[in-house]
Structure 1
Amino acid sequence: MIIDNEFWELFPDATIYSLVAKRLNNNDEDTAFYEQLLSAAEKEAQQYIQTEPFRENPVVAQWREAFTKFKTKKGARSSIEALLKRVSQGKELGTINPLVDIYNSMSLKHGVPCGGEDLNAMDGELHLGVAKGGEQFLPLGAEEDAPALTGEVIYYDQTGAICRCFNWREAQRTMLTENTTNAVLIIESINAEQSKRAKEAIEELQQLINDRFGVETTSSTFKK
């Protein structure tokens, strides 16, 4: 992964953690394991939503502030806010597929945004940077292209955007599926306190994937 200078200019205190896992079998049918993993993480996540109103919880407030530093689509919120909102409303997370369930559980447990992409579906190197505007993007669940906005923080490759507004919105093109065999998982932080939790999250994520899938993984840390 390459992180562009334009990103560091916006977020000089950020730390981005990535984990590459190869030769996976992401078609584990032991749904009970993943349901239990998510349920335990939902309980852990209660520590991040102790304040009323919801928006004043530090994890939520810090990411809302971060999203004011670049161009966003109206209503865009950090992925961790979306997960914590569900928990605060008493809504359980359903299982999707093993890799997604695992990174969602780590996201909730450690209060940090997590995401994942299928390496085989990418066109060249993965970048985190600032959109020039118009980068091709077909959102998950959509039927029409929704190009990136000029000045928006995006993950992208040579074909177009992969995630918009950090990992707020996922592209269909590179999403993790049951057929994914090679994946990159990413955990984001924008300050020192978040970075500490993100480091714990990536280490636990790596151990869980190593144990669950029996594969070797490679982690990387990116700082300015």
Structure 2
Amino acid sequence: MTSFDAWLEAASIDDSVRELRPDYRAVLVVARGLHGGASNEESETLLFAAEEHVRGMLEHTPPEELPHIAAWRDAYRAFGAKPQRTRNSAEALLRRADALPRVNALTDAYNAVSVRHQTPLGGEDLDAYDGALRLTRATGDEEFSTMSSGAETIEHPDAGEVVWRDDAGVTCRRWNWRQCYRTRLTYDTTNAIFICDVLDVEPGDGEQRATEVRDALCEALEAVSPGVTLTSRIL
């Protein structure tokens, strides 16, 4: 077992989060040997296909009324967040689906999968992590690094907020709202962790969706970074 495999096996979801949403599944994909770099033809193809896929869907239905997005709004309310003010990452992207942002090859790839599957999905530089990844509820004392007025600054989550974290602090606030600056993907990222957040819409349907999203993400990563080594786990 490699160190990356051991790290993936150490990831956990705290019981306090499971009590909020027993149907929740985290799809974790570790990618090694990435060479993403700037947005490219392959990532553009993925984004264009995602835009086309949801265009008709959104013509008569606002994002917040799509079943998967509505489920995440309920999950946010369960820990005290206001989803109309702090939208989950999938909803935020769907509101820009007429012209999705082009960031870099890796971010473009997972954004395309997120939009197509209406599933919150994020990617972070694995080499920037300190200790095991875990999903828990914040005390309010944890550090969260972000950018403010062009400079890195430290914020703190609200007490009771659902957060992803490692030993150094919070890596993503409000479950899947905002990722931290410390673990951001860059052009130089070679090893990454991708996190897909899946809820049931109908009882038990999250299991199949988790598998579908994992497979779609792996296919997208292989398209933008041929030769990448992928390892996954569904929590």
- Could you state the TM-score of these two structures normalised by the residue count of structure 2? 0.85
Moved over 6 A (4+): none
| Correspondence 1:64 to 2:77 | no
Q: CA deviation at 1:55?
A: 2.8
The equivalent of 2:26 in structure 1 is 16
| Correspondence 1:77 to 2:84 | no
| Correspondence 1:209 to 2:221 | yes
RMSD: 2.0
Report the 3-state secondary structure (helix = DSSP H, G, I; strand = E; otherwise coil) of the residue aligned with 1:176.
coil
The equivalent of 1:187 in structure 2 is 196
Distance (whole Å) between structure 1 residues aligned to residue 56 and residue 210 of structure 2 = 16
Report the 3-state secondary structure (helix = DSSP H, G, I; strand = E; otherwise coil) of the residue aligned with 1:158.
coil
Give unmatched runs, 5+ long, in structure 2.
1-10
| Correspondence 1:44 to 2:53 | yes
| Correspondence 1:138 to 2:121 | no
- Could you state the TM-score of these two structures normalised by the residue count of structure 1? 0.89
For residues 112-143 of structure 1, give each alpha carbon's deviation from its aligned partner in whole angstroms, at most 9, with x where no partner exists.
11111111101111111111112101225664
Count of residue pairs the alignment pairs up: 218
The equivalent of 2:35 in structure 1 is 25
Distance (whole Å) between structure 2 residues aligned to residue 156 and residue 46 of structure 1 = 34
Distance (whole Å) between structure 2 residues aligned to residue 46 and residue 61 of structure 1 = 18
Distance (whole Å) between structure 2 residues aligned to residue 184 and residue 48 of structure 1 = 30
Do the aligned residues in 1 keep the contact of 2:39 with 2:108 (CA within 8 Å)? no
Do the aligned residues in 2 keep the contact of 1:50 with 1:57 (CA within 8 Å)? no
Give unmatched runs, 5+ long, in structure 1.
none
Q: CA deviation at 1:83?
A: 0.8
* Alignment equivalent of 1:98, drawn from 101, 105, 111: 105
For residues 4-63 of structure 1, give each alpha carbon's deviation from its aligned partner in whole angstroms, at most 9, with x where no partner exists.
121111111111111001121122x56222122101111112365355454323233211
Q: Cα gap change, 1:139/1:210 in structure 2, threshold over 3 Å: closer, same or farther?
A: same
> Which one-letter code corresponds to 1:36 in the other structure?
T
Percent identical pairs in the alignment equals 37
| Correspondence 1:118 to 2:125 | yes
Do the aligned residues in 1 keep the contact of 2:146 with 2:180 (CA within 8 Å)? yes
